[in-house]
Amino acid sequence: MSSRRPAAPGSAGPGLPLGGRLAAAAVAAVLLAAGCSAGGDRAEHASGEQEDTRPRPEGEPDELTEVDPAVVLDLGEERTAKDDRVRVEVSYPTVPNADPFNERLGEITGQEVDDFAAANPGARSISISGALTAAADDVVGVRFTQEEKDSEDPRTGYATFWYDALSGRTAFSTELLAGHEQLVALNGLVRDALKGRDEVAGAAIQPVLRVYDSMGFNPDGDLVVEFDAGQVAPAAAGRIAAVVPREQADPLLSEFGRRARAAATVVDSGFTLGAPPAPEDIPAPEAVPGVFPVTDDSVDCSAPEAKCIALTFDDGPGGRTAELLDVLRDNEVRATFFLTGGPIREYAPLVRREYAEGHELANHTVTHPDLAGTSPDRIAQELRTVNALIRRETGYQPDLMRPPYGSTNDGVRAISGEHGLAEILWSVDTNDWRDRNARIVADRAVKHARPGSIILMHDIHSTTIDAVPDIIRRLREKGYTLVTVSQLLGGTEPGQSYRHAHPEEPAADPSAAPSPSASESAGD
Ligand code: ZN
């Protein structure tokens, strides 16, 4: 899973929603309140972090702390540069004995470079530069600033990663928090903090990995959340930061988050680490806040009595997708969205919301071509770009694709497989693109539905949005459970093709023509 990006017209960013106004008195109160909140056993055994006599780092209230590289013994640097289609420069500090972290940062920055190039046809250059935001005790934090140049104005983004030398694990910024509920709570605090900023779109602030990929602490230990230029406000507004006062953030932090805060608020001169754990001893994360499973363990669609159905929506997001999401949320229904390139760019906040609300995101190409008649290179580019766009908005790596018009062949499936994607067709076509009539669309969806069906719709048509409440009600009356495609199919294999999960029929038939005729599938 990748996530990250950095961006910042550093100082140009208006920054401080709260931070700049934190009066000295308020800061003092915050510090007092924090005295009783030391987490992590280190801090507790060590008579409380407030007793720490080490000096405090320098820094602005709405910025993450900066570590003077001179305090780290034998600090190294990883530096790569290349000049292909896209000019690339990557550099970041490497702490001796933090090999698992140094290697992980190499993977992360490599993925980021690839995603930038894939997501932007006009990509010209990307520069990713890391700096230490914590280096004390057993914690290292590296904050990246990422400058991207393409055919649009240059953008700056940020991402911060954390290393726990005790476990050898690299943590995303969201892992400073105790769990997903705490991320949702933080999301509310951040929205409130930014409410007075007219340029900020509250709906763009969603509790997903990628949006919260840069968090750290200011020298006083307040939690600083920063967003890339263009992420939650127009790019011209630059970096947007929210400062959550220490006593408000404290109950949200994980044990590691408290240790990270302690490390980010002291200067540890002569910092060194012991040897890292062996790779096989490094634990995998249990659940990363802001990363959502697309399946629900409480539903078993493989049970004979299970009557699962997947609602799928193609070509969006569109102008009324937010209303559709309201309906799905109010009815606790999870759906699957096959997203197209232009709409992802136009409605990025809705893509984040779809993900945050438990829906499955899937790839429906950038330009909606007939893939069976498209060159292999172009097919690969179409798929790679949408995967990159989805990752850059949410952190999620899609594993399903749907060929436009259902037009596919062995080559399309093979290339999809190379991109980690299974092909998903459908067994019920509502023809909602042709019959712009909510009643007809609903009747068709309900009449042809049976256990294991995949129902094809498009959330770019207003009449489809109008049909969904009726479809949900009537399918539920018939005892159906509405689930994501991955849940319905119980797992998929890249390169394989699926049309339904009807129990008494073959689950996949890659050789069959997916769709009866061009006219019937013209709208998928
Ligand atoms: Zn389509």
Q: Is the dihedral of CA 481, 484, 490, 496 positive or negative?
A: positive
What is the C-alpha to C-alpha distance for residues 329 and 157, in angstroms, rounded to an integer? 31
Give the number of residues written for the chain: 524
Cα 376 to ligand 1 centroid, rounded to whole Å = 19
pLDDT tens-digit profile of 291-313? Answer: 999 999 999 998 877 899 999 99
Cα 19 to ligand 1 centroid, rounded to whole Å = 45
Cα 225 to ligand 1 centroid, rounded to whole Å = 37
What is the C-alpha to C-alpha distance for residues 230 and 123, in angstroms, rounded to an integer? 16
Does 184 have pLDDT greater than 50? yes
Domain boundaries, the chain: 69-280, 308-498
Is 416 within 8 Å of 387 (Cβ atoms)? no
What is the C-alpha to C-alpha distance for residues 261 and 38, in angstroms, rounded to an integer? 10
Which candidate, 256, 85, 45, 280, places its Cα nearest to that of 162? 256
Superfamily of domain 308-498: Glycoside hydrolase/deacetylase (3.20.20.370)
Conformation bin of residue 136: beta by default, left when phi > 0, alpha when psi is -120 to 50: beta
> What single-letter amino acid sits at 260?
A
Least confident of 13-22, 132-141, 255-264, 391-400: 13-22
The average pLDDT across 168-172 equals: 97
**Radius of gyration (C-alpha) of the chain in whole angstroms:** 24
**In the chain, % of residues over pLDDT 70:** 86
Beta-bridge partner residues of 160? 143
What is the C-alpha to C-alpha distance for residues 59 and 15, in angstroms, rounded to an integer? 14
Is 301 within 8 Å of 350 (Cβ atoms)? no
What is the C-alpha to C-alpha distance for residues 397 and 392, in angstroms, rounded to an integer? 9
What is the C-alpha to C-alpha distance for residues 1 and 391, in angstroms, rounded to an integer? 8
Which residue has 């709409």 as its token pair?
343
Beta-bridge partner residues of 136? 139
Does 16 have pLDDT greater than 90? no
pLDDT tens-digit profile of 352-410? Answer: 999 999 999 999 999 999 999 999 999 999 999 999 999 999 999 999 999 999 999 99
Q: Where are the beta strands (DSSP E) in 382-430?
A: 400-401, 422-424, 428-429
**Predicted pLDDT at 514:** 45
Does 109 have pLDDT greater than 70? yes
The arrangement of secondary structure in 69-280, i.e. its CATH architecture, is 2-Layer Sandwich (3.30)
Cα 468 to ligand 1 centroid, rounded to whole Å = 18
Q: Is the peptide bond before 279 cis (omega within 30 degrees of 0)?
A: no
Is 407 within 8 Å of 372 (Cβ atoms)? yes
Cα 277 to ligand 1 centroid, rounded to whole Å = 48
For ligand 1, a single-atom ion, the residues with CB < 5 A are 314-315, 404, 524
Cα 422 to ligand 1 centroid, rounded to whole Å = 16
Q: Share the mean pLDDT of the chain.
A: 89
Non-local (6+) Cβ contacts of 120 within 8 A are: 148, 150, 151
Full-model pTM: 0.87
What is the C-alpha to C-alpha distance for residues 100 and 159, in angstroms, rounded to an integer? 18
pLDDT tens-digit profile of 24-65? Answer: 333 333 333 333 333 333 334 344 455 678 999 988 999 999
pLDDT tens-digit profile of 412-458? Answer: 999 999 999 999 999 999 999 999 999 999 999 999 999 999 999 99
The CA distances from residue 313 to 335, 345, 484, in Å, are 8, 17, 11
Determine which helix (DSSP H) or strand (DSSP E) holds 321, and give its type and residue range. helix 321-330
**Dmax (CA) of the chain:** 75
Cα 344 to ligand 1 centroid, rounded to whole Å = 13
- 260 SS3 class: helix
**Predicted pLDDT at 508:** 53
Cα 161 to ligand 1 centroid, rounded to whole Å = 37
Cα 494 to ligand 1 centroid, rounded to whole Å = 20
Does 512 have pLDDT greater than 90? no
> What single-letter amino acid sits at 261?
R
Which residues belong to the active site?
314, 458
What is the C-alpha to C-alpha distance for residues 325 and 353, in angstroms, rounded to an integer? 8
DSSP 3-state percent helix, strand, coil across the chain (nearest 5) = 35, 20, 45
What is the C-alpha to C-alpha distance for residues 104 and 229, in angstroms, rounded to an integer? 25
The CA distances from residue 240 to 12, 144, 152, 175, 196, in Å, are 10, 15, 19, 21, 13
pLDDT tens-digit profile of 58-103? Answer: 889 999 999 999 999 999 999 999 998 899 999 999 999 999 999 9
**Predicted pLDDT at 263:** 97
In terms of Cβ atoms closer than 10 Å to its own Cβ (0-12, 13-18, 19+), residue 99 is middle
Cα 430 to ligand 1 centroid, rounded to whole Å = 13
Cα 324 to ligand 1 centroid, rounded to whole Å = 18
- Neighbour count for residue 166 (Cβ, 10 Å): 17
The CA distances from residue 482 to 151, 394, 457, 461, in Å, are 42, 23, 14, 21
Cα 518 to ligand 1 centroid, rounded to whole Å = 13
Does 278 have pLDDT greater than 50? yes
Least confident of 122-126, 261-265, 412-416, 517-521: 517-521
Cα 364 to ligand 1 centroid, rounded to whole Å = 7
